[in-house]
Homo-oligomer: A and B are copies of this chain.
């Protein structure tokens, strides 16, 4: 598979690089690493994303080259779609994909729909950045900037090396990347230290209003005014909830408009929250999923909690 991809890279001239909506470390790190790799091979490469780059990732190299708009007539030989389970998840970039002669789909999501002409999907990889590392290794192209992008991708998608996808291989790769003068505490600060004092106070109120079911296994909070920001506090809140003993399912109910409630689910290990979100019209992963329900927040809370109780006890 990698051989075919390398062949296509060598044979073609212009490349469109994109990833999924709601950009995070793995999507951006993988895009930038591939971009730098193509540049080293003297190819024409463009990163084009539906969403703007979150400010937490402004430290990544070449980030100012990322485009959020393209001329309607632009065309590419190859479209490289990274960390993206479905072509619809590229947002407005989708219109450009079909015009490329070849779509290469590189991803580690088990839910990948194999939408590409070439589909390199490795659900056992910690991250798409781990796969891109293999590609760089094969092509013998690696420098400080590529290493920083790949480190950031693997670091964020493995929950700072604490998720189940963190293997011996991941640590081996990271030890290789760190030889290029990567400072882990600095990457940590960049990626995670973006809160204002008012954000922590807001999180404080959420924690203080946490609810739990009788078994102690379902923990949730209801937020009647979810702030619209350029960054999202959801992951931070879930990372704090991880400190709780015995809880299995974590849920946030957010009022995002009148009669519109966003519900985010996280599972510690056993419960498949993808199936719970699906029941309410959403989806995601086994351990992280979400849905948006067109109803008033207290109604949604009642229905969802009742369903989750039955689901986890059944």
**Chain A residues near B (Cβ < 8 Å):** 160-164, 166-172, 174-176, 178-179, 183-185, 188-189, 192-197, 199-201, 203-210, 212, 216, 219, 236, 240-245, 268-269
Most chain B beta carbons < 10 A, residue from A206, A207, A209: A207
Contact in complex: A207, B212 (CB < 8 Å): no
CB distance from A46 to the nearest CB of B (A): 31
C-alpha spacing A269/B190, complex, angstroms: 13
C-alpha spacing A203/B205, complex, angstroms: 10
Contact in complex: B219, A210 (CB < 8 Å): no
Residue of B nearest to A191 (CB): B162
Contact in complex: B201, A244 (CB < 8 Å): no
CB distance from A215 to the nearest CB of B (A): 12
CB distance from A214 to the nearest CB of B (A): 12
Identify which of B170, B193, B244 contacts A200 (C-beta below 8 A).
B244
Identify which of B164, B184, B192, B196 contacts A163 (C-beta below 8 A).
B184
Residue of B nearest to A207 (CB): B204
Residues of B within 8 A of A196 (CB): 244-245
Identify which of B160, B176, B179, B212 contacts A161 (C-beta below 8 A).
B160
Most chain B beta carbons < 10 A, residue from A166, A194, A216: A166
Residues of B within 8 A of A188 (CB): 162, 242
Contact in complex: A160, B160 (CB < 8 Å): yes
CB distance from A235 to the nearest CB of B (A): 10
C-alpha spacing A179/B172, complex, angstroms: 11
A243 with B183, Cβ < 8 A, contacts A162-B188, A205-B204 known: no
Contact in complex: A171, B164 (CB < 8 Å): no
Contact in complex: A244, B167 (CB < 8 Å): no
Identify which of B164, B197, B206 contacts A183 (C-beta below 8 A).
B164
